[in-house]
Amino acid sequence: MADGSMPLWRMTGVSKRYGGVTALDNVDFSCAAARIHAVLGENGAGKSTLIKIIAGVVQPDSGTMELDGRPVTFRSPAEATRAGIVCIFQELSLMPDLTVADNISITRPPGRWGFINPLAQRRRAEELLARLGCEDVHPTELVKNLPLSRRQMIEIAKALGRNPKILILDEATSALTAADVQKVYAVLRKLRDDGLAILYISHRMQEIAELADDCSVFRNGRHIQTFAKGTKNDDEIVELMIGREYKHVYPAKPARAAATEPMVRIENLSWGDRLQDISLAIGRGEIVGLGGLDGQGQRELLLALFGVLRGITGRVTIDGRTQRIGSPRQAKSPAIGMALIPEDRKTEGLMLPMSVRDNASMAAIAALTRGVIVDRKAEAARIDEMIQKLAIKVGDLANPVATLSGGNQQKVVIAKWLMTNARVVLLNDPTRGIDVGTKQEIYQLLRNLADAGTTILFYTTDYDELVGCCDRVAILYDGRILRELKGADITERNIVASALNLPLEARDSRAAAPA
Amino acid sequence: MTELRLWLARSYGLLLSIVVFIVMFALYFGNFSTDDPAAVILSAANTGVLLALVAMAQTVPVLTAGLDLSVGMIFIMTNCIASALVVGTPLQVAAGTVAVILSGCAAGFVNGAIVVWGRLQPIIATLATSAIYIGIALLIRPVPGGDVDGDLADFLTGQVFEVVPVGLIFLVAVVLFIWVPFRMSVLGRGCYAAGSAEGAAYMSGVDIARSKFAAYVLSGLFAGLAGLMQTFNTYTGEASAPSGGLYTLNSIAAVVIGGTSLFGGSGGAVGSIFGAFILRTIVSLLFVFDMPPLWQPLFQGVVLLLAVSLGAARVLRIRNRLELFS
């Protein structure tokens, strides 16, 4: 550690694999009491897995962990909490139907013999909320009636109430108002001075600059380096974060003389505070990537275009005609001709117990129907064509789609949508959790589709894919398009810098300014 | 005043069911010409208390976002057991009463064990055990019969001060000495937490398994108390599967009418008591207004639909349609 004292927490040789994917690879990591320690890394660098292991949510495959010099293992979050490790997760862990006071004292409420003393519990909630400068929240209010920013404050109050030795914050300030953020900072600094170790995960460089004492950078599941704040500038930090080791083979991008006429034009699209004033034009035959850190509105943008979200403002023009898309059913109609390859193929992409055949023809079934009867012959012919085209390895079409491998399942999802002859294809992280070979086939397929005139909007968490596949990349930050990169400006370095809301280097400043 | 406003907002389902019940009962009572109003109240209370207890039994699993399809059959089973055991010397009667209550708890224990440790869906698990419980009831009482201690029965189905039904006092005691302490306990809190957001409860370190388990045991206890009271009302045990099934369905209706969410996490047993009273008063209202008793299911259905619609208003606020399916 920076000050050389004995670390409060030390883990040695910790690895974790999910199926074929290594999330953490032989990681040594330690943090000291009375320090605020920031953890940095791009998507999939292993930050989440790291804190989940520390907080007892998942168990490491190998390695040892020590708290205060004593070896520990946690089989559940409850055990980690008892040991003094409290984590504020990004996806909140509040119970919406319970009151604020109930939530704050959920595990060890004040009282006796297993009975809760409601008055003491209320006072405790009031004290903790007051510590955070959050007196406007009434302790008997139901959590579900509070806005997200208040819920996040309650989450922090709940964590403080557990008297942690190590407090972990995973993007815990993302929804807070600026005033709240300052209050939380003050509390965190005070806690640090009281001797807590604070692990802080954030993608906001200015937060890290303001708060952290130490920084650790993770990349590809490895701990790259730990350094004291101020010893490296932003550029050097970005340098440490990038540098992917595997490179896929990507099909060549066509050289474009001029921008093609826009097929999809999005103007001032907003949805609550999750999407703000998004404007983006995508040309015919163009592949546009959506980049940025996870959860900046990319998923919502695709859902908004596909008619899943209610209460959208702004305008969407497809092929020169303004469209109000109110449902996926409407989105796929020939007048619009849109397809969405969803994020989670197991819940949104496929009906797992149904056959490969039924899944493949699900979206295009109307075109394969004569009267009310499905034309089995035409259906079989179309499916056969798709299986050839996508090289799907399938034994019997009547088998449940659940029996296929992950890569082949994803190909079935894609086949299902290609059968509708979509003009606009939206993809939400289509290569997550599939093997390298299938990934490359998908890249080639996307390029072939684009060359044939299909318009493609492609969200991926893998920056390498943005660089390799896309003609243009829009980087989202806090529900806005922060920057568009094109041509030679699409580099991993620029993508990471943009995702962190840092300025590009001078030589790269040809990229479009934020809208 | 925020206090009061928040409390009203939280308990409006309960308050609404109380108001509806009072209005309905006033209508009934006002239109019933009788020389003996206390007797009218007594008979209404005695039928109401039975369904109220079964509805309380249903409430606890529903709070955990589960469902217990066996409450009606536990009710029938404990009725049959009581008709065999709660007779004889005072000592035998006392022992028999304890045995009946314990058998209700045991049935809940089995349900809880299957749901929590076996990880089966509550609906199907309790559907299966409900068949087992009615089977046991039929073994004990192949034909209706048996007996129960007359003095105790007359007391518990009678009145004190010639006006207050003892059954109601019993119900209030069950609420005060069993439900309220449970509601105030860490176990009870765990039931609400698990029903509200099980993942969040787990991440917060709540002992979900223990709470859910307690919910089913408590459910068995309430159903057992209902079975006991049924025996005091009828002086006999009858293994009637249709009656058990009807009690189960009505208990679910009573829970919903009483303001408890079938998604779990909000509501409570007191609401279910008034839900049960409302269902029972519908029958009485049809009677005093000279309407055919055959209309009863129709009216119950309408009331139930209205109650469910109140709870479904949240759907209108959802802005991501995918959330409708999760």
Residue B236 falls inside a structural domain = yes
Note the pLDDT tens digit of each residue in A232-291: 877 788 778 776 555 567 888 877 656 677 899 999 999 988 899 999 999 888 999 998
Does residue A89 share a domain with residue A178?
yes
Q: Which of A421, A453, A470 is the last residue of a domain?
A: A421
The minimal CB distance from A98 to the residues B185, B193, B318 is found for B193
Does residue A414 share a domain with residue A427?
no
Residue B249 falls inside a structural domain = yes
pLDDT of residue A262: 87
Assign residue B164 the CATH number of its domain: 1.10.3470
Note the pLDDT tens digit of each residue in A330-339: 998 888 899 9
Residue A301 falls inside a structural domain = yes
Structural domain count of chain A: 3
Among candidate residues B265, B312, B258, the one with its CA nearest the CA of residue B21: B258
pLDDT of residue A506: 47
Residue B314 falls inside a structural domain = no
pLDDT of residue A140: 87
The minimal CB distance from A114 to the residues B187, B205, B322 is found for B187
Residue A250 falls inside a structural domain = no
Residue A298 falls inside a structural domain = yes
Residue B2 falls inside a structural domain = no
Residue B82 falls inside a structural domain = yes
> Residue B313's pLDDT band (boundaries 50, 70, 90)?
low
Residue B60 falls inside a structural domain = yes
**Residue B185: which domain range?**
11-309
- pLDDT cut 90: percent of chain B above it: 46
Burial class (CB in 10 A: 0-12, 13-18, 19+), B108: buried
Among A111-115, A421-425, A484-488, name the most confident range: A421-425
Test B320 with A92 for CB contact under 8 angstroms.
Answer: no
Residue B325 falls inside a structural domain = no
Does residue A102 share a domain with residue A25?
yes
> Residue A3's pLDDT band (boundaries 50, 70, 90)?
very low
The verdict on A5 touching B (C-beta cutoff 8 Å) is no
Does residue A211 share a domain with residue A267?
no
pLDDT of residue A514: 44
| DSSP string across A173-241 | TTT--HHHHHHHHHHHHHHHHTT-EEEEE-S-HHHHHHH-SEEEEEETTEEEEEEETTSS-HHHHHHHH
H-type alpha helices, A391-456: 406-418, 436-451
Does residue A48 share a domain with residue A197?
yes
Least confident of A434-448, B122-136, B206-220, B257-271: A434-448
A33 CB-side CA count, 13 A: 12
Whether the Cβ atoms of residue A297 and residue A274 lie closer than 8 Å to each other: yes
> Residue A1's pLDDT band (boundaries 50, 70, 90)?
very low
The 10 Å CB-count burial string (b at 16+, else e) for B112-135 is bebbbeeeeebeebbbebbeebbe
> Residue A294's pLDDT band (boundaries 50, 70, 90)?
confident
Note the pLDDT tens digit of each residue in A134-163: 888 888 888 888 877 788 888 888 988 888
d(CA A58, CA A45): 16
Does residue A144 share a domain with residue A170?
yes
3-state SS, residue A244 = coil
Among A209-223, A426-440, B56-70, B77-91, name the most confident range: B56-70
Residue A162 falls inside a structural domain = yes
| DSSP string across A315-353 | EEEETTEEE---SHHHHTSTTT-EEEE-S-IIIII--TT
Note the pLDDT tens digit of each residue in B147-188: 888 888 888 888 888 788 999 999 999 999 999 999 999 899
- How open is the CA angle B252-B258-B263, to the nearest 5 degrees? 60
Does residue A189 share a domain with residue A104?
yes
Residue A31 falls inside a structural domain = yes
Mean pLDDT of A433-459: 86
Note the pLDDT tens digit of each residue in A82-96: 899 998 876 668 888
Residue A86 falls inside a structural domain = yes
d(CA A244, CA A301): 27
Residues 2-41 of B with CB under 8 A from A: 2-3, 6-7, 9-10
Q: Which of A388, A403, A421 is the last residue of a domain?
A: A421
Mean pLDDT of A473-500: 88
Residue B1 falls inside a structural domain = no
**Residue A317: which domain range?**
261-337+423-515
d(CA A87, CA A105): 15
Whether the Cβ atoms of residue A41 and residue A217 lie closer than 8 Å to each other: yes
Does residue A129 share a domain with residue A96?
yes
A35-40 and A197-201: which strand pairing?
A: parallel
For residue B181, which residues of chain A lie inside 8 Å, CB to CB? Answer: 115
Residue A188 falls inside a structural domain = yes
Structural domain count of chain B: 1
Residue A249 falls inside a structural domain = no
Quick one: how far is CA A260 from the chain centroid? 31
3-state SS, residue A164 = coil
Test B205 with A81 for CB contact under 8 angstroms.
Answer: yes
CA-CA-CA-CA torsion sign (B291, B297, B298, B304): positive
Assign residue A223 the CATH number of its domain: 3.40.50.300
For residue B203, which residues of chain A lie inside 8 Å, CB to CB? Answer: 57, 77, 89, 93
Does residue A472 share a domain with residue A437?
yes
Mean pLDDT of A479-496: 87
Which amino acid, one-letter code, is at A133?
Answer: G
Does residue A373 share a domain with residue A296?
no
Whether the Cβ atoms of residue A102 and residue A183 lie closer than 8 Å to each other: no
Note the pLDDT tens digit of each residue in B74-96: 999 999 999 998 888 889 889 99
Does residue A401 share a domain with residue A277?
no
B35 CB-side CA count, 13 A: 0
Output the CA–CA distances (angstroms, integers) from residue A68 to A36, A72, B130, B223, in the order listed: 17, 10, 53, 51
